[in-house]
Homo-oligomer: A and B are copies of this chain.
């Protein structure tokens, strides 16, 4: 039985980390500057703790200065805004990442909009999102869809003219993913359909797609029967399913029924080991970009 080529997110992210590391060295040698990222975490959500720890550790490995500021769960929005204001004004802080989800009393939209768009390494600021949709080369693209884009490019998947089904219209993945792929650009020019909970005919849309990007947040949503033979399937999902055998009582699975779909698809991301490592690679690349721009700005001034 034929089996899909695996798109190796670990290998490709390692390639990007190595490029990012070289840029860190160049910044130090040319400008005496160490790129810095500040993580802000509110409350003690265990997943957020783990994410921030992982991102910080990888940053340090590449020579990026990283600090984490932890605020209490009951922090008021005004207090978080004041902290962001201070970080916006701190020249040593090139990138600011406020880890979502935030407690209920805080409006995420207002927080992301308050971050200086030149330090918005998560790519969530509406100004950067607007430039993305307009094809105006935003300073930063959101890390997960940018990571998926790099995966496609670096594994040689043809994008131009491809029929793409994006499953899920979230602000973090689905919408910016569509915005990236539909641009009139070398690695764009795809015909994108954005599918979501209110879409009819999801199976038909998926079955005619050359590339399926699953970011719905539903465990094993994409079945083999939904995939055209030879199509490329990218699994962005991270879902908890109960598993009494597992040490925490659950395990993490993707939006794609991997074992079945790999027998139909032409290429597929494993999960874990596919999109996940790319998100952090793009975050750190964005952070170094922020530092590079700050240096360029100074040398022009």
Contact = CB atoms under 8 A, between A and B. Distances in A.
Interface stretch (A36-44, A53-61, A187-195, A227-235): A187-195
Residue among A130, A163, A171 with max Cβ neighbours from chain B (10 Å): A130
Interface residues on chain A, size class: 35 or more
Given A184-B196, A191-B193, A200-B163, A109 B134 contact: yes
Residue among A109, A134, A135, A195 with max Cβ neighbours from chain B (10 Å): A134
User: Main SS of chain A's interface residues?
Assistant: mixed
A34 interface: no
A214 B210 CA distance: 24
Identical copies in the complex:
2
A191 B161 CA distance: 19
Residue among A161, A169, A200, A208 with max Cβ neighbours from chain B (10 Å): A169
Interface string A180-215: 001010000101111111111100010010000000
Contacts of A133: 129-130, 133, 175-176, 179
Contacts of A184: 169, 196-198
A76 interface: no
A103 to B, nearest CB: 20
